[in-house]
C-alpha cells in the first residue's frame, strides 16, 4: 500500500493514526515509548501545530520527552498532571484479554506508572504482537544494580518453583556494559517461552527484593488498535467487547514522512 513505508511500518503508522482519533482537546495524555509510539507522537505534533489541538503530555522515557518537545507538544511531569485522561503506547505482546508484555525498549517502569495513572490505556500494535499466550517475547524485569546477580538467581528460583516452562534469564546488555534504564536500573530478560499464569507471575516477581517492576501489564490496557501492512486496522475494546474494522487512508507525501530521521 505504501511506497514510503515498509509493511511493518505501515502497520504501526495506521495503528497510531487510528489511535490519535481518540484524543480530544484539553486532554492530559500519557505518551508511550518505542517505534510504534513514535508515530503517535509525530501525529499528535502535527495535530498541535496544524489543527491547534490543545493537549499536555507526560512522556514515559527521556527519548519520548525529547521527541514530544521537538514536535511542539507541551510536556509536563506526572506529578504536575496527577492523573491522565488517556495513555497511548506500544507493546511487545498482547493476548485476548489485552494483558501485555512491555519493556522491550527498556521503558517499562515509567510506562506502567503512567498507564496505571490514566483513565484509559490504548495499545497500538502491528498484528505480529498478538498471541494466544504471553511469553514468547522475553519478559523484561527491571532490577536495581545492587546485588543484581543475587536478584537474578532469586528470579530463576521463582520460575522453577512456579514450574514455568523455560527458566533462562539474561542481563540485558548495551554493548559491553549492562543496559541502564532511565531510573539507573538494569533489566533482566526472562526467556520463559510461555506464561501460563501471567497474573500470578507478575505479583510474585514484584515480591523479590531487588525487583523494581516487571513488564507484565495485567488489567491495565482497555483498547488495542491493531495495524496491518495493507492499511487495515482493527480496534478491540475489552470493556465494551466492541470490535471495529476499517481502512486508514494516508497520502504518500504526508509531511510526517519527510523528516523521519532514522
Ligand X SMILES: O=C[C@H](O)[C@H](O)[C@H](O)COP(=O)(O)O
Binding residues: 33-36, 89-92, 102-105, 129
**CB of 19 vs ligand X, minimal distance in Å:** 12
Cβ proximity to ligand X: between 84 and 91 the closer is: 91
User: Per rule CB under 6 A, is residue 33 in the interface with ligand X?
Assistant: yes
Q: Which range touches ligand X (CB under 6 A), out of 89-97, 172-180, 218-226, 229-237?
A: 89-97
Interaction residues for ligand X, span 109-138 (CB under 6 A): 111
User: Per rule CB under 6 A, is residue 103 in the interface with ligand X?
Assistant: yes
User: Per rule CB under 6 A, is residue 210 in the interface with ligand X?
Assistant: no
Binding-site annotation, residues for substrate: 33-36, 89-92, 102-105, 129
From the list 24, 66, 71, 111, the catalytic residue is 111
**CB of 83 vs ligand X, minimal distance in Å:** 21
Which helix (H) or strand (E) segment holds residue 74: the answer is strand 74-75
Distances in whole angstroms, Cα of residue 67 to Cα of each of 5, 191, 259? 20, 31, 13
Which of 30, 34, 210, 231 is close enough to bind ligand X by CB under 6 A? Answer: 34
Cβ proximity to ligand X: between 57 and 104 the closer is: 104
Which helix (H) or strand (E) segment holds residue 110: the answer is helix 108-116
Strands 93-94 and 173-174 turn out to be unpaired
Rounded distance between C-alpha atoms, residue 6 and residue 92, angstroms: 19
User: Per rule CB under 6 A, is residue 107 in the interface with ligand X?
Assistant: yes
Q: Are 123 and 90 in contact (CB under 8 A)?
A: yes
Rounded distance between C-alpha atoms, residue 126 and residue 101, angstroms: 14
Q: Which range touches ligand X (CB under 6 A), out of 16-24, 100-108, 175-183, 187-195?
A: 100-108
Cβ proximity to ligand X: between 6 and 149 the closer is: 6
Residue 84 in grid coordinates: 491522565
Q: Are 126 and 8 in contact (CB under 8 A)?
A: yes
Strands 74-75 and 56-59 turn out to be parallel
Which of 104, 138, 227, 229 is close enough to bind ligand X by CB under 6 A? Answer: 104
User: Per rule CB under 6 A, is residue 189 in the interface with ligand X?
Assistant: no
Active site residue 46: no
Rounded distance between C-alpha atoms, residue 5 and residue 35, angstroms: 13
Q: Are 143 and 211 in contact (CB under 8 A)?
A: yes
Q: Which range touches ligand X (CB under 6 A), out of 17-25, 28-36, 67-75, 186-194?
A: 28-36
Q: What's 252's DSSP letter?
A: T
Strands 84-89 and 93-94 turn out to be unpaired
Q: Which range touches ligand X (CB under 6 A), out of 103-111, 151-159, 182-190, 198-206?
A: 103-111
- State in Å, rounded, how far the first CA of the chain is from the last one: 21
| Contacts to ligand X by CB under 6 A | 32-37, 89-92, 102-108, 111
Give the residue numbers marked as catalytic: 111
Amino acid at each position: 500500500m505504501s511506497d514510503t513505508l515498509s509493511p511493518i511500518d505501515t502497520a504501526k503508522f495506521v495503528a497510531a493514526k487510528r489511535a490519535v482519533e481518540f484524543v480530544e482537546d484539553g486532554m492530559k495524555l500519557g505518551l508511550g515509548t518505542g517505534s510504534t509510539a513514535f508515530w503517535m507522537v509525530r501525529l499528535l505534533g502535527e495535530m498541535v501545530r496544524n489543527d491547534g489541538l490543545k493537549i499536555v503530555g507526560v512522556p514515559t522515557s527521556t527519548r519520548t520527552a525529547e521527541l514530544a518537545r521537538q514536535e511542539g507538544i507541551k510536556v509536563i511531569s506526572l506529578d504536575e498532571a496527577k492523573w491522565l485522561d488517556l495513555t497511548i503506547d506500544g507493546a511487545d505482546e498482547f493476548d485476548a484479554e489485552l494483558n501485555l508484555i512491555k519493556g522491550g525498549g527498556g521503558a517499562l517502569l515509567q510506562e506502567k506508572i503512567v498507564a496505571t495513572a490514566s483513565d484509559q490505556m490504548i495499545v497500538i500494535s502491528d498484528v505480529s504482537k498478538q498471541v494466544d499466550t504471553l511469553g514468547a517475547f522475553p519478559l523484561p524485569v527491571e532490577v536495581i544494580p545492587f546485588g543484581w546477580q543475587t536478584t537474578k538467581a532469586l528470579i530463576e528460583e521463582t520460575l522453577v518453583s512456579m514450574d514455568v516452562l523455560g527458566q533462562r534469564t539474561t542481563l540485558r546488555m548495551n554493548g559491553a556494559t549492562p543496559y541502564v534504564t532511565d531510573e539507573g536500573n538494569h533489566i533482566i530478560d526472562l526467556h520463559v517461552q510461555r506464561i501460563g499464569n501471567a497474573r500470578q507471575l507478575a505479583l510474585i516477581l514484584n515480591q523479590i527484593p531487588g525487583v523494581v517492576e516487571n513488564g507484565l501489564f495485567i488489567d491495565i490496557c482497555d483498547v488495542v488498535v491493531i495495524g496491518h501492512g495493507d492499511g487495515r486496522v482493527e480496534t478491540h475494546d475489552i470493556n465494551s467487547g466492541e470490535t471495529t474494522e476499517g481502512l486508514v487512508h494516508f497520502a504518500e507525501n504526508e509531511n510526517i514522512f519527510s523528516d523521519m530521521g532514522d
